[in-house]
Structure 1
Amino acid sequence: MISTNPSTIKKTVTKREFEGIVESATEDKTIHVRVSTTKMHPKYQKQYVTSKKYAVHDEKNTSTVGDTVRFRECRPYSKTKRWYVIHSSTHVL
């Protein structure tokens, strides 16, 4: 007989991932990343850009201002830091 006890069933949690541009890298092991998203206005059907700034944990301090960074949700590192860097690539103009 199969046990259906709720304590034995494990749930998988999907962690959110974003990609953005580093705006500030002055703090130790912390970078601030701006993520821009395009939204559609419900009434006027016009697209507009919104952006949000995230505090991201960068363990090796490898990211600099202007880099494109991919980051994922994790446990809280501090009051505002709940994200960590997965991949960083240099932004070339």
Structure 2
Amino acid sequence: MEKIRTLKGRVMSNKMQKSAVVAIERFVKHVVYGKFIKRTTKIHIHDEENECNVGDFIEIRESRPISKKKSWVLVRIIEKNNLINKITNK
């Protein structure tokens, strides 16, 4: 049996119903210069309860295709976005 792929990323958009867009960052080494470059991949995920918000750091796992673009599912929210708390100081 194959191991289920899991990734961690930051929520960029949650304007769709039961869906969100997550940005996955990775570092790749430049072939010629050897410098590590940050690359970002946007993945559409399925969020059944609409529980993740923009800026949350989440864990996702691969699943069967749910729609044309969605084949990843929300596993858990690792860290909530504290932007509102920083502005209101609460």
TM-score by length of 2: 0.86
Measure how far apart 1:16 and its partner are.
1.2
Q: Which ranges in structure 2 are unaligned for 5 or more consecutive residues?
A: 84-90
Correspondence for 1:68:
57
Measure how far apart 1:37 and its partner are.
0.4
Correspondence for 2:19:
30
CA–CA distance in structure 2, aligned partners of residues 86 and 35 of structure 1: 15
Measure how far apart 1:92 and its partner are.
2.9
Q: Tell which structure's C-alpha radius of gyration is larger.
A: 1
Correspondence for 1:49:
38
Q: How many residues align structurally?
A: 82
CA–CA distance in structure 2, aligned partners of residues 14 and 91 of structure 1: 30
- The AA in structure 2 aligned to 1:79 is K
Correspondence for 1:86:
75
Residues 27-72 of structure 1: CA distance to partner in whole angstroms, max 9, x if unpaired? 0100000001011112211110100000000011000000001000
- The AA in structure 2 aligned to 1:17 is T
Instruction: Write 1 or 2 for the structure with the bigger share of helix.
Output: 2
Q: Secondary structure at the match of 1:61?
A: coil
CA–CA distance in structure 2, aligned partners of residues 26 and 20 of structure 1: 17
TM-score by length of 1: 0.84
RMSD over aligned Cα, in angstroms? 1.0
Moved over 3 A (4+): none
Match of 1:58 among 27, 32, 47: 47
